Amino acid sequence: MNMESLMEWAEEEETSSVQADKSYTQLETVQQMLLERIEGVCNTELLKIYIPRGSALIWTLRHEHGWDIDTLECDLHEHKNRQVKYVYNGRKY
Domain assignment present for residue 19? The answer is: no
Give the range of the structural domain holding residue 53, as residue numbers without chain letter.
24-91
Domain assignment present for residue 68? The answer is: yes
Domain assignment present for residue 74? The answer is: yes
Domain assignment present for residue 5? The answer is: no
Express each pLDDT in 49-66 by its tens digit: 999 899 999 999 999 999
pTM above 0.85, yes or no: no
Total domains, the chain: 1
Calpha distance 91→93 (Å, rounded): 6
Average pLDDT over residues 7-32: 69
Domain assignment present for residue 14? The answer is: no
